[in-house]
Amino acid sequence: MRRLRFAGLVICIGMLSVACLNGPHKSSSAGEVSLVGTKWKLVELAGQAVVTKPGNNEFSYLQLSSDGKFSAFAGCNRFSGKFDQNEESVLRFTIQASTRMACVNMKTEQVFREELKVVSRFLIKNGGLILNSADEVPLARFEAVTDSK
């Protein structure tokens, strides 16, 4: 009887796991990474490559959580807020909080914040995330961060 209950529990957990993977935050292609829960490293912003300085382990990123909140870092300050997303690849950000440190070069940070304000759509393709404006102009491109990066 215990083995039967255990087997039933394992099956239920497996079914729940599959259901969660197929939620609205998952991209449409099999094998792709999820928009939510993935740490996204900023690699291109407004058509320009974003390069992390050699020896610097800290990089610009965006991370969305399942509670509808996001956090980001753009080289100097951290900022956070809320996002709205639906299954038709529509995505909107609202920045609510930010640290206020003054740094030598804040250009990337300023552009990153401004681009997030006008994001309207997203695309996950080949393990990367592209944020687009309403007229499909690419604003920012990210790579999924794995434990080895």
DSSP state of 25: T
Do residues 35 and 124 make contact, with C-beta atoms less than 8 angstroms apart? yes
Global confidence as pTM: 0.75
Sequence-ordered alpha helix ranges (H) in 85-144: 107-118
Predicted confidence (pLDDT) per residue in 12-23, tens digit: 343 333 333 333
Count of helix runs (H) and strand runs (E) in the chain: 2, 9
Do residues 48 and 60 make contact, with C-beta atoms less than 8 angstroms apart? no
Return the residue matching tokens 């039933």.
8
How much is the pLDDT for 99?
94
Return the residue matching tokens 């058509």.
47
Predicted confidence (pLDDT) per residue in 23-70, tens digit: 334 333 445 689 999 999 999 999 999 987 766 678 999 999 999 999
Q: Does domain 26-144 have CATH number 2.40.128.270?
A: yes
Model confidence band, residue 112 (pLDDT cutoffs 50, 70, 90): very high
Q: Mean pLDDT over residues 74-94, rounded?
A: 92
CA dist 83 to 116, 127, 129, 147, 149, Å? Answer: 10, 21, 15, 25, 26
